Amino acid sequence: MDKHADGDAVAAAVADVAADCGISLVASLPDGWITSLIERFEIDGRFRHVQVNREESAIGLCSGAFFSGIGALALMGASGFLTCIYAITKINYTYQIPLLIGITLRGRPGDHAKFHQSNGLYLEPLMRAIDIPFIAIERGADIAQLATAFRHSRVMARPVVVGFGRKVLCGEA
Amino acid sequence: MDVTESFRLLAERLRDAIVVTSAGNCSELWWDITRETERVFYLEASMSLASLFAAGIALGASRNVVALSGDGAFCMNPGMLMVERAMALPNLKHFVLSNRCYGSTNELPLGFAQRADYAAMARAAGIERVYRIATVKRLGQALDEILGVAGYVFAVLDVEPLGRRLPSPPLDGPELKFRFGRYLERIGGRRIFDAPLYRNNDSESAIDTSI
């Protein structure tokens, strides 16, 4: 199986878990690691996929969707997540609105993109600084944790982040 | 046009709508006029995201959902227009209150936007139903069509600065969430909270104590 096919299989697995746990709205902005995943959500009839203009818009849209009784996922790269701190802390923390946010774990060892190394340095410390729960999805067996994270966000009425590693998204782990 | 008069008219004509107001004058003035605490979400903790927050609500609502933003907020995220155009929600009505200043911060001028044409920006984004309204009389006429005909609408209201300070709505975030969410559940929307407050949406006295 080639890498693209592996990525498609992972995307299908993520979509299955998302659908099963009640997610039907996905708002996304791309990162190179999640293009297969975004394409899957776009064509999968179980989801309404909305391409947004910037990551904060995904936070706003998905937070509003909570009041529609719709399960939502805001999907973005690590860099985009870093631009969302204002929206998350002001909207989701102030009003205690649950939200599942999916990000890429860019900048870790093995990511050769120099322009993502700042994410490796600051992404996880920043998440700890704002006390946002974080679950890493680094192996295929971890994909089911998406449902746990979604449920946890509703229980604690706060956003929860799931971070996808490169290898799992490529079907290598 | 006079901003207070325009909001009084909106409050009178939007009685059946769900309302989201952005930070600043929109929230303060709506609260000052209506004192409403259920069908309106005062999104005071955020600028620029009120209309997309409203879009999320509109996905599950049968009623019109009206977003009221200031132009300070609009200028922070005009790309929202393309997303709203793509979503094309028939029950989403987005009003921008154009006073060319930051109303809640001592009306500091919105200098860089003085020559911007927000309605033209919306048309350029592919939005077909765009209104630019400068009088209360015209607003009254336009509301018949805006609210009565299904389809996404973007409307710019040219208003004078408020010229006075108003207090924020006195609601804490979680209180606002529960008042608003329970209201949506009660009027027949989908279930929002995991723990139902009522066994039956039609009977507020039937409190579910089994949870």
What is the pLDDT averaged over residues A158-170? 95
How does DSSP assign chain A, residue by residue? Answer: --HHHHHHHHHHHHHHHHHHTTEEEEEE---GGGHHHHHHHHH-TT-EEEE-SSHHHHHHHHHHHGGGT-EEEEE--HHHHHTTHHHIIIIIIHHT--EEEEEE-TTSTT---GGGHHHHHHHHHHHHHTT--EEEE-SGGGTTHHHHHHHHHHHHTSEEEEEE-HHHHHT--
The closest CB to that of A90, out of B46, B55, B181, belongs to B46
Instruction: Supply the pLDDT for residue B190.
Output: 84
pLDDT value at position B168?
94
- ipTM given for this complex: 0.95
Residues of A in contact with B53 (CB under 8 A): 60-61, 63-64, 91
Does residue A89 surpass a pLDDT of 80? yes
Q: Using CA coordinates, name the residue in chain A closest to B175.
A: A95
Nearest to A91 by CA among A74, A69, A70: A74
Sites in chain B below the pLDDT cut of 70: 198-211
Q: List CB contacts (< 8 A) between A68 and chain B.
A: 56-61, 189-190, 192
- Residue numbers in B near A52 (CB within 8 A): 52, 83
74-93 in A: which are within 8 Å (CB) of B? 86-87, 90-91, 93
Distance (Å) of CA B119 to CA A68, A79, B91, B127, B132: 29, 32, 19, 9, 6
CB atoms within 10 A of CB B95: 26
For residue A38, CA distances in Å to A4, A8, A142, A160, B56 come to 13, 10, 19, 19, 19
CB contact under 8 A, A70 and B49: no
Which of the four pLDDT bands, split at 50, 70 and 90, describes residue A172? confident
Check CB contact under 8 Å for A52 and B52.
Answer: yes
A64 contacts in B (CB within 8 Å)? Answer: 20, 52-59
Q: Are A34 and A164 in contact (CB under 8 A)?
A: yes
Q: Which residue of B has its CA nearest to A54?
A: B79
Contact B61 A68 (CB under 8 A): yes
| pTM metric for this prediction | 0.94
| Whole-angstrom distance, CA of residue B52 vs CA of residue A67 | 13
Provide the chain A residues 113-132 that lie in CB contact (below 8 A) with chain B: none
Mutate to test the interface with B, among A25, A49, A88, A95 (most CBs of B within 10 A): A95
β B108-109/B130-133 pair status:
unpaired
Instruction: Flag if B80 and A57 touch (Cβ within 8 Å).
Output: yes
Average pLDDT, chain A: 95
Q: Tell me how far apart the alpha carbons of residues B56 and B51 are, in angstroms, rounded to a whole number.
A: 9
pLDDT, residue B63, reads: 96
pLDDT of residue B207: 40
